[in-house]
Copies of this chain bind each other. A is one copy, B any other.
Amino acid sequence: MNNKNESVLIIGAGLCGSLLALRLAQRGYKVAVYESRPDLRKVAISAGRSINLALSDRGLKALRLCGVEEKARKICIPMKGRLMHDALGNTFASNYSGREGEFINSISRGDLNALLLNEAEKHKNVTIHFNQKCKKVDIENNIAFFIDEETNEEFSVTFDVIFGTDGAGSVLRKSYISERKFLFSYSQNYLNHGYKELEIPGDKNRNHQISKEYLHIWPRGDFMLIALPNMDGSFTVTLFLSYDEGEFNFNNLTSEETITKFFEQEFPDALALIPNIKEEFLNNPTGPLGTVKCAPWCYKNTLLLGDAAHAIVPFYGQGMNASFEDVFVLDEILNQGFEDWNSVFKAYQKARKKDTDAIADLAIDNFYEMRDHVANPLFKEKRKIEMDLEKHFPNQYFSKYSLVTFNEHIGYEEAMKKGRAQDKALLNLIADDTVQTHENMTKEELKTILELVIDQTNEILAKDSVAGLKI
């Protein structure tokens, strides 16, 4: 593997595959990328399929490694917090961080993917082949079988090493299952909710009709609507709703009349901004929300990366960031001087899997947080205190959200454990009235709260440790 003439196959030229191609090209490998879809730089992307995403510090860290951070930032729209809309049209804001300069970024999936493909193609040792659909992989002999989607011609290619960055429905992962060479732990778990994308267009001057500084949320307990800004003045709106439970659900919202009634009742302010609601609702697809975990991620000279290894639900805005961070972590392992690819892959899985398992669980937690908890008085009080703590003690307090999103030097698992304990501490301090707040808290008062939270968090972690007999 230290022979840079070794040939590398990457299956899938999405966000993860493109960035991996770029990085391996920079490291000098001979890289071929095969993608089932047409070149997205030349054709329009179909409507209603997650056209924008939230790019944050973990993703930026990987882009920085590959020298493309600045280019990506040029197509970003910073979002400093959530803006909640209640059923009467009232709004309240909740920032993502109390520190200066901590925000997430709305970015177009297509534009970022195109940027990465362009950067990868600048390297002579990279070739990218579109419309080449992988059918299966012979994982014993490193042979991948393809069909050309334009000519229907079938062919196979042999490489020294094969990466599957082919997303949640990964063909390499399916080959791990079907070839039965080893015990393969695998899970696919769907929420009872699906999603549908709608659009708030820009105004006549291509300006945003609502603030572009926020990720907008219409939390309604059992369902919610969110909106992320695009560069052209529009917002991509996503409805998250049960397939079959509750008064309104995807299975019964089938007529223009019920769709209108639902939006008038639940989201009147959003409805006023979505002119094509009926057409979009009836024509855009309803997508499922699933989590995929599996192990092992590798067999011999093959490796799953990104969504192919760990697809997650979108509620923490970390799917793309986790996939980019995969490339970063793999790059670190490649620096460690292993003798062969399989050893690299095993070391990579060992270093990485606990963290992608954690972000999968955190993302599901956030589903409940966004649709429900954000409107809970106790939760709101907690977030208010956290903003104050982060503002006044920027080096001493990091909320769970900040640990996950803005502290890219620690892993997701560490962020989850510490963040959950801290949330539990603070919520209980508020619930039992140990901590009380008022307008204009002094720094001294906040310092007392900080010390209580740190103390209680440590006690929670210590007691959990004893309960796990890890002492």
Contact = CB atoms under 8 A, between A and B. Distances in A.
Nearest to A430: B466
A469 B373 contact: yes
Interface string A379-394: 1000000000000000
Interface in A419-471: 420, 423-424, 427-428, 431, 463-464, 466-467, 469, 471
Contacts of A379: 469
B186 A428 contact: no
Contacts of A258: none
Contacts of A338: none
A471 B187 contact: no
A46 interface: no
A471 B183 contact: no
B186 A187 contact: yes
A364 interface: no
Contacts of A293: 187
A335 interface: no
Contacts of A290: 183
A26 interface: no
A376 interface: yes
Given A183-B288, A288-B183, A467 B188 contact: no
A424 B467 CA distance: 5
A5 interface: no
A361 to B, nearest CB: 14
Contact of A428 (B184, B243, B463): B463
Given A185-B190, A187-B187, A187-B188, A427 B466 contact: yes
A293 B190 CA distance: 13
A156 interface: no
A458 to B, nearest CB: 14
B427 A469 contact: yes
A334 interface: no
Nearest to A194: B183
A185 B192 CA distance: 10
Interface in A67-100: none
A188 B189 CA distance: 11
A464 B464 CA distance: 12
A186 B188 contact: yes
Contacts of A373: 469
Contacts of A423: 467
A378 interface: yes
Nearest to A463: B428
Nearest to A292: B187
B428 A466 contact: yes
Given A184-B190, A185-B190, A424-B463, 6 more contacts: A183-B290, A184-B188, A186-B189, A187-B189, A378-B471, A428-B463
What 9 pairs across the A-B complex have the smallest Cβ distances?
A187-B187, A424-B467, A183-B190, A185-B189, A431-B466, A428-B466, A185-B190, A427-B466, A428-B463
27 contacts: A183-B190, A183-B243, A183-B288, A183-B290, A184-B190, A185-B187, A185-B189, A186-B187, A186-B188, A186-B189, A187-B187, A187-B189, A187-B293, A373-B469, A376-B469, A378-B466, A378-B471, A420-B467, A423-B467, A424-B463, A424-B464, A424-B467, A427-B466, A427-B467, A428-B466, A428-B467, A431-B466
